[in-house]
Structure 1
Amino acid sequence: MNEFWRRLALHPRLRMELFLSSLLINLLGLAGSLYSIQVLNRYLALGIDSTLLTLTVGALIAVVFELALRSARLRIAQWLCARADAALGEAVFDSSVRGQYALLEQLPVAARREILSGLATTQQSFGASNLITLLDAPFALVFLLVLALLNPILALTAILVMGGVVLVSLLAQRRLREPMEAQSRSAIQLAGHQQTLTSGTELVRAFQAAGALRERWNQCTTELTGLRATLGSLQNTIQNASYAGGVLLGMLMMAMGAREVLAGQLDVGSLIGANILAGRALAALTRALGLGEAIGRGQRALELIRQLNAIPQERSDGMTLGQYGGSLRFEDAAFAYPKQPTPIFEHFDFALPASGVLAVIGANGTGKTTLARLLVGLLEPTRGRLLADNMDLRQADPGWWRRQVAYLPQEPLFFDGTLRENLTVMAPDTPDDEVLALCRELGVGPFVEGSADGLSLVLRNGGNSIPLGIRRRLALARALLGKGRVVVLDDPTEGVDADGCKAIAGVLNRLVKSGHSLVVMSNEAFIISAAQAVIDLNQKPQPRIVHAPAAPAVAAGGNTHD
């Protein structure tokens, strides 16, 4: 409910217009009841056709005005909700792309996917039609007030029945919260298994993982089936309460009204009108109560979105350098992930001069990728400083710094779009000739130019359909087209064949000769031998600097990775 009030509070003038239009609509809604009363009491008594015509024309005019106001109110509510939905969507996008990397990574992928899909649930649950339904609910009092003027006993009867419907519905809705939260948790677990089925076919088949997966799959689906049954029963209780309330109200209104007619306290026309008024009041109330489950789903989705939005965002501005020379320096730096007993490194001091070449070695899990992410600015040291030309990167503008870095991640991914859009994402105006020339230099020219679509090839699903060795070299082309002064490569030759390694070595030699600073996370001998300095992350907690040759040159690798 709070989300509805928040949306209304965004535009006070429109909020007032919605309330006024709702009041007028419900006042015009009295026309049907008054028409019935007047036709039965005046026309049947007098039998004058002009009276019937006048009453009918007046009622039709009221209906026309009511429909016009309903249409205008809907447009106002749609505009208001569209602005709120756009703002919420923008906030979710900003949190996803600017939230602090380390905190975002703590959220499971399935949970993040659930949060993003919750946007549609929120927009539907707190949409214009539901907002209007809630606005109409309080105006049930208008119908009850008119009913009380006709006959207080009938008004009291309607209030008692409606109170019973409200009580049953609220009790059922209160019990909805727990199974809905459990359903959301189970849905996240099932989404993880669905991801395995869709993208892990090789895992399931080659390693006979179907048995282990089936047990978890059946557990999740059984739990979800039970939760849906529980939710269905509670929703059915709410629907039955509304239905039974409508039937009981109609019966009681006719029974009590008949007694009032016999007692001379009410005429037949007023009895029919009173029955219509009571029905309108109950309908407005039950429509609002029927939104309980939808609002509950929306509230749950909104809570997940707020968890994402609560993650602190990285800076959007900061210091920049007029010209970055390319030097890097760690000063008493340390880094540890939350709740991790052993730090990746600590008391780390190291300086890489401009145009220097650094190799970082270490077994899997020793922190090579973490160090790469620190250099790119995705992570920050938990202690100490990382300096670029004597500027602390904590004070730097993250966007500016990442333009200074040509980064090849360990797991190269691409967004859904053309190959050209992906390769030139850091420099959209790059000419195709330059893109193709770099692709040829990296040995992926035949793949790009041999495709019927060329650079217009559409990539889907992160580009996972492209062989890893080619995908890695395309990702390297993307990094280098950004023309960063520092080149940070995380296992650039993993999954690359011998020819591809030679092509990469040639590009690295060119970068060294052109004065770029290189930081390469790799255990490859041909890369290590060419480095000015080698940092060994196998030694904990303080990394070991192994050696520092004077004249770097990258030899052609002889790897034959598949």
Structure 2
Amino acid sequence: MNELLRRLFRSKPLAVEIVIASLFVNILFLASPIFVIQILSRYIGYGFDGTLYTLTAGMLIALVLGMGFNVVRTKMCAAVSAEPDRQLQAAVLDALSQLKTAALDRIPQAKIQEVMAAPQTVQGAYEASRIASVLDMPFFVLFFLAVFFLSPVLAIVTLLAVIMTMIAGKMNMNRSRSVDSTMREVLVQHRGGVNSAIHGAETVRAYHGGSFLRSIWMGQVEKLAELRERIVVQKSWSLAIVQGLNSLLKVAIYAVGAKQVVMGELSVGSLIGASILSAKTLQISTSFMQSVLMMGKANDAMRMINEFIGLPREASGGTAMKQYSGRLEFKDVAIAFPGATGPLFESLNYSIEPGSVVGILGANGAGKTTLSKLVVGLLDPGRGQILADGVDLRQLAPEWWRRQIMYLPQEPTFLNGSYKENITLLNPDIDDAKLNEVVRLADLRRFLDSSATGMETFVKEGGHNLPLGIRKRLALARALVGQGRIAVFDEPTEGLDVEGAEAVFQVMNLLAKQGVTLFVVSRDPNIIKGFGSVIDLNSKPIPKVGVIQKKTAAPEQGASMKS
């Protein structure tokens, strides 16, 4: 209820208007039982047509006014949730784009998908009809008192039916939340398996993984089927109880009321009016419990959302230098991952001058990509500092720092958009001449010209369907658009053909001549020959750093790196 009150009183004037509209909607409903009572007691008793016309006209007016207030109230209730729903969706999307990479990497993809869908659960719980049903609940007293005014005995019968309905609703709510929680956990596991099958389609086929997946999926599917069956049974029982109590209430009202009519304690018109009022009382309480159940599910979704958006984020502000030279310094840098027996590396101390060509060497799993991500600012060191022109990266504005870097990851990924939109992310306003030069340097022109839509070709599934060599070229072009003072290339020639590798050599040679600091992870001998100094991560736990010996040195910095 706290969330409903928060939404409702965001605009106090609107809340007051909704309450007033609810008052009129419920008061105007009283016209129906009053009409029945008056028709049966006055018109049938006296037979005066003027009474019939007057009562009918009044009833029609009440119906029209009731419909009008209902429509107006529904629109206002919808307005109550419009902005909070938009803000909630925006908060989840902002968190997805701003959470620290390390925090996001610890969450299974299927769980993230569930979090992204959670705002729809919240929206469904706070839609206009749900809000209206909660606001109708206080008027339960109005209809109960109306029944009590006609017959205290029938009021007690009505109250008993309402209490039974609310007890049944509360029990159903508790069972439903337990089953829903288990259902979400199993669905996350199932979606994770499905995602692995989609991304590993070749593995499934080449290594006969279908039977392995099927054995896992069948267990999950059977569990999901069992849970769905339990939900169906719960819903059927809940519906049966509500319908049964509704029918039982009618039977009890007419049975007890008929006895009162025979005894002269109640008129026939009052009996029918009491039946209408008692049914309305039960309907209000039933709708209220259903809305509370939905809002309970929404609260679970909100807790999941709040946990997600409460994860560590990248800084939204920070320092932005007027000019960055390209100098980088590691001071006692160490990093370790949760669950590891020790640090990946530690006590890394090294100063890199602007325009240097620094190589990162190490075996698989030594931490080469991790070190690259530390430089880009995608990860934070567990200890120590990384300084750019003497300023700690954690004090710099992340958006500004990323614009100083030309980053080519080992496994490039893209957003669902056109090639042009992906390439120009760091500089959407780049002119066509510079963009064409970037495309030429990345050796993309032939590939783009082979497509009917060229740069406007749409990237699907994050580019996973594209060959690695094309993804590397697109990522190289994307990096070059930034025109930063430091280039971080992680295995830049991996997966490239001869022409693609040659393009990388030329780009690195050009950047070296321009005085850009090159920070390169590579096992390519032709690139290694161009390193001026290296950070050797094979040395554990403290990496070895220094200038390459003359016998293995490449041509002087800025020289050609051709194969």
TM-score by length of 1: 0.96
Rounded to whole Å, the distance in 2 between the matches of 1:383 and 1:192 is 33
Q: Match for 2:385: what amino acid?
A: R
Query: Counterpart of 2:547 in 1: which secondary structure?
Result: coil
Rounded to whole Å, the distance in 2 between the matches of 1:438 and 1:51 is 88
Kindly state the Cα deviation for residue 70 of structure 1 after the two structures are TM-superposed: 1.1
**Is the aligned partner of 1:552 residue 2:552?**
no
**Is the aligned partner of 1:484 residue 2:484?**
yes
Range that drifts further, 55-64 or 506-515: 55-64
Which residue is equivalent to 1:391?
391
Rounded to whole Å, the distance in 2 between the matches of 1:541 and 1:449 is 49
Rounded to whole Å, the distance in 1 between the matches of 2:413 and 2:248 is 62
Kindly provide the CA deviation profile for residues 430-483 of structure 1, in whole angstroms up to 9, marking residues without a partner as x. 123322322222222100122110111111111122211111111110011011
Kindly provide the CA deviation profile for residues 362-387 of structure 1, in whole angstroms up to 9, marking residues without a partner as x. 12211111111111111111111110
1:508–1:554: 8 Å Cα contact kept in structure 2? no
Kindly state the Cα deviation for residue 200 of structure 1 after the two structures are TM-superposed: 2.1
Sequence identity percentage: 37
Kindly provide the CA deviation profile for residues 131-165 of structure 1, in whole angstroms up to 9, marking residues without a partner as x. 11222233222111111111111001100111111
2:530–2:561: 8 Å Cα contact kept in structure 1? no
Rounded to whole Å, the distance in 2 between the matches of 1:310 and 1:349 is 33
Kindly state the Cα deviation for residue 400 of structure 1 after the two structures are TM-superposed: 0.9
**Is the aligned partner of 1:209 residue 2:214?**
no
Kindly provide the CA deviation profile for residues 4-63 of structure 1, in whole angstroms up to 9, marking residues without a partner as x. 223223222222222221122111111111111111111111111111111111111111
Any unmatched runs of 5+ in structure 2?
Answer: none
Which residue is equivalent to 1:338?
338
Kindly state the Cα deviation for residue 319 of structure 1 after the two structures are TM-superposed: 1.1
Kindly state the Cα deviation for residue 420 of structure 1 after the two structures are TM-superposed: 0.8
Q: Match for 1:551: what amino acid?
A: E
2:333–2:386: 8 Å Cα contact kept in structure 1? yes
State the Cα RMSD in Å: 1.6
**Is the aligned partner of 1:104 residue 2:104?**
yes
Which residue is equivalent to 1:143?
143
Kindly provide the CA deviation profile for residues 93-134 of structure 1, in whole angstroms up to 9, marking residues without a partner as x. 121111222112111111111110222222122222211122
Which residue is equivalent to 1:31?
31
**Is the aligned partner of 1:41 residue 2:41?**
yes
Kindly provide the CA deviation profile for residues 230-269 of structure 1, in whole angstroms up to 9, marking residues without a partner as x. 1121222211111011000000000111111122211111
Query: Counterpart of 1:417 in 2: which secondary structure?
Result: coil
Kindly provide the CA deviation profile for residues 405-445 of structure 1, in whole angstroms up to 9, marking residues without a partner as x. 11112221111111111111111111233223222222221
Kindly provide the CA deviation profile for residues 304-332 of structure 1, in whole angstroms up to 9, marking residues without a partner as x. 21111111322111112111111000011
Aligned counterparts, 1:282-321, within 5 A: 282-291=282-291, 293-321=293-321
2:510–2:558: 8 Å Cα contact kept in structure 1? no
Kindly state the Cα deviation for residue 553 of structure 1 after the two structures are TM-superposed: 4.1
Q: Match for 1:213: what amino acid?
A: L
Rounded to whole Å, the distance in 1 between the matches of 2:498 and 2:209 is 33
Rounded to whole Å, the distance in 1 between the matches of 2:429 and 2:369 is 30
Query: Counterpart of 1:518 in 2: which secondary structure?
Result: strand
Aligned counterparts, 1:59-458, within 5 A: 59-291=59-291, 293-458=293-458
Query: Counterpart of 2:394 in 1: which secondary structure?
Result: coil
Rounded to whole Å, the distance in 2 between the matches of 1:555 and 1:299 is 62
Range that drifts further, 351-360 or 227-236: 227-236
Rounded to whole Å, the distance in 1 between the matches of 2:529 and 2:31 is 91
Rounded to whole Å, the distance in 2 between the matches of 1:253 and 1:18 is 33
Any unmatched runs of 5+ in structure 1?
Answer: none
Which residue is equivalent to 2:539?
539
Query: Counterpart of 2:348 in 1: which secondary structure?
Result: strand
2:165–2:285: 8 Å Cα contact kept in structure 1? no
Range that drifts further, 124-133 or 187-196: 124-133
Which residue is equivalent to 2:519?
519
Kindly state the Cα deviation for residue 546 of structure 1 after the two structures are TM-superposed: 5.0
Rounded to whole Å, the distance in 2 between the matches of 1:342 and 1:328 is 26
Kindly state the Cα deviation for residue 292 of structure 1 after the two structures are TM-superposed: 5.2
Call closer, same or farther: CA 1:554–1:189 in 2, change over 3 Å.
farther
Q: State how many pairs are aligned.
A: 558
Kindly provide the CA deviation profile for residues 499-525 of structure 1, in whole angstroms up to 9, marking residues without a partner as x. 211111001100000111110111222
Query: Counterpart of 2:535 in 1: which secondary structure?
Result: strand
Q: Match for 2:235: what amino acid?
A: Q
2:261–2:268: 8 Å Cα contact kept in structure 1? yes
Q: Match for 2:495: what amino acid?
A: G
